[in-house]
Structure 1
Amino acid sequence: MKLIECPRDAMQGLTHFVPTDEKIRYLNALLRVGFDTLDFGSFVSLKAIPQMRDTADVLAGLNLTDTRTKLLAIVANIRGAEQAASFATIDYLGFPLSVSETFQQRNTNKSIGQALADVEQMQKICVQLDKQLVVYLSMGFGNPYGDPYSPELISDFTGKLVDMGVRIIAPSDTVGSSTPEGIETLFRHLLATFPDVEFGAHLHARPGEAPAKVKAAYRAGVRRIDGALRGFGGCPMAADDLTGNLPTEEIIGTLTQLGCDLPINQNAIEQALTLSTSLFG
């Protein structure tokens, strides 16, 4: 089981700028917990996401000498991908590819067709520089815009990505529209159809919904789940009201109940939870 902690997602929608040294202190605490991957920052438009304008400076302050955790950075275009890939310490580049035309324009100012062309180029950059591309299928469980959606649509997008060589794909519940039944149905189909793909679940939830969603993804065979401590965050480009990330502590509790042996340092996660309170309020 791979746990992906997403402090970038947690911080990006905050109205106040988190000082660089506070970001570094929080991320270094998370690096001691035992997560598989840390979605730590992004190389995107500073105007669109001003909170992440110091990602390169934050990266320089991270202590990576005694951690098993790998780093993932979100990118929104070729320029961002080239910048992120230039750092030896970044293992994964993450790109949000929407299955909703409205949200693709809203999130990256591109059409889906243009975004797919970017993905193809990003995959080539990753291959050249020994990185892995993670494609998040935004609005992967429906959208609030009235754009077409179906599980078959997700499967079609997945097929296109597989043809490009992408092997990590995460359907993303950008606005919290998923249900446990829909989660299990979609992932069972995807895992059976594309056995060579590592599928992740990037789900958002309202208070109390997380355990059922985690159980549904796990039952379907998903072994890569994204979360954020205390459920902070959400996509500021998606809606006026943010729907939070799955609380990592609830993910851990639910997976432990299901019998998963997770390599989590309990003291470290308690320290990170304390820091998160001071950071986010």
Structure 2
Amino acid sequence: MKLIECPRDAMQGLTEFIPTATKTAYLQALLRVGFDTLDFGSFVSPKAIPQLRDTAEVLAGLDLGLTRTKLLAIVANLRGAETAATYPEIQCIGFPLSVSETFQLRNTNKTIPEALTELSAIQELCVQSGKTLVTYLSMGFGNPYGDPWSPETVAEFTQRLADMDVRIVALSDTIGASSAATIELLFSQLIPAFPAIEFGAHLHTTPSTWREKVAAAYAAGCRRFDGALGGIGGCPMAADELTGNMPTENLVAYFAEVGQETGLDPKAFTQAWQAAGSVFHF
């Protein structure tokens, strides 16, 4: 079981700038918990995501000596990936590839064919620099724009990624559009069809639907889950109103119920939860 904590996703849509020192201290608390990966920041245009303009400064302030958690940075283009690749502390580079043409344009100012070309170059860069590319299939469970979507469409996108030798694909419910049925359908089809790919669930949710979504993904064989403490955040490029991230505390509680080990340190998790409350005011 791999739990990926996403403070970057939690912070990116907030209008009030979180001071660099506050970000750094929060990330340091998260690094003590034992998450598999920390989606800690992004190298994108500060005009697009002003909240994360200090990612390099935050990274410089982290003490990584005692953590086993991998650091993941999100990029929107090859230039951002080239920047991220210069940091030996960063093990993973994430890129959002949208199943929806409308959202791809909104999110990265590229068409899907252009994004695929960019992604291929980023994958080559990752191989050369010893990084792991994590590709997020944005709008993976549907979209609000009327763009084509079907399980077959998602499978076609996944095949293109497999052809590039992309090894981690996170199906992303960018606006909370998924249902338990679509989640179970996709994972149950894709996981056996692409055994070389590690599939993740990046689910956005409302408080009343989180359990059925997690249960559906878990039942279908998914063992990589993204979350954010407090369920804070969402994608500001997707909609005017943000649909919250999957609350990490709910993931932890669910996996405890089903007897699935997460490898997290309970004391450090409690301390990180308290720190999240201070940062995000919940």
Structure 1 segments unaligned to the other structure (5+ residues): none
Residue 221 (structure 1) shift:
0.5
TM-score, normalised relative to structure 2: 0.99
**Cα RMSD for the two superposed structures:** 0.6
- Indicate whether 1:167 and 2:162 are aligned: no
For 2:209 and 2:131, locate their aligned partners in 1 and report how far apart those are by CA, in whole Å.
34
- Indicate whether 1:78 and 2:82 are aligned: no
Structure 2 segments unaligned to the other structure (5+ residues): none
Residue 136 (structure 1) shift:
0.2
Number of the residue aligned with 2:112: 112
Secondary structure at 1:200 match in 2 = strand
Number of the residue aligned with 1:89: 89
Structure 1 runs (4+) greater than 6 angstroms displaced: none
TM-score, normalised relative to structure 1: 0.99
**1:202-221 paired onto structure 2 within 5 Å:** 202-221=202-221
Letter in structure 1 aligned against 2:198? E
Letter in structure 2 aligned against 1:61? G
For 1:63 and 1:257, locate their aligned partners in 2 and report how far apart those are by CA, in whole Å.
33
Residue 157 (structure 1) shift:
0.3
Q: State the Cα deviation string for residues 150-199 of structure 1 (Å, max 9, x = none).
A: 01101000000110110100110000000111101100000111011100
Number of the residue aligned with 2:122: 122
For 2:108 and 2:248, locate their aligned partners in 1 and report how far apart those are by CA, in whole Å.
27
Secondary structure at 1:63 match in 2 = coil
For 1:63 and 1:109, locate their aligned partners in 2 and report how far apart those are by CA, in whole Å.
35
For 1:269 and 1:209, locate their aligned partners in 2 and report how far apart those are by CA, in whole Å.
23
Letter in structure 2 aligned against 1:272? A
Residue 259 (structure 1) shift:
1.2
Q: State the Cα deviation string for residues 8-32 of structure 1 (Å, max 9, x = none).
A: 0000000100000000000000000
Letter in structure 2 aligned against 1:118? E
Number of the residue aligned with 2:241: 241
Letter in structure 1 aligned against 2:142? G
For 1:57 and 1:99, locate their aligned partners in 2 and report how far apart those are by CA, in whole Å.
33
Secondary structure at 2:202 match in 1 = coil
Secondary structure at 2:237 match in 1 = coil
Secondary structure at 1:241 match in 2 = coil
For 2:194 and 2:239, locate their aligned partners in 1 and report how far apart those are by CA, in whole Å.
31
Secondary structure at 2:16 match in 1 = coil
Residue 116 (structure 1) shift:
0.1
Number of the residue aligned with 1:28: 28
For 2:211 and 2:248, locate their aligned partners in 1 and report how far apart those are by CA, in whole Å.
10
**1:134-149 paired onto structure 2 within 5 Å:** 134-149=134-149
Q: State the Cα deviation string for residues 121-146 of structure 1 (Å, max 9, x = none).
A: 00000000000100000000000000
For 2:247 and 2:146, locate their aligned partners in 1 and report how far apart those are by CA, in whole Å.
28
Letter in structure 2 aligned against 1:151? P
For 1:68 and 1:211, locate their aligned partners in 2 and report how far apart those are by CA, in whole Å.
28
Letter in structure 1 aligned against 2:93? L
Secondary structure at 1:201 match in 2 = strand
**1:251-270 paired onto structure 2 within 5 Å:** 251-270=251-270
Number of the residue aligned with 1:63: 63
Letter in structure 1 aligned against 2:178? S
Number of the residue aligned with 2:5: 5
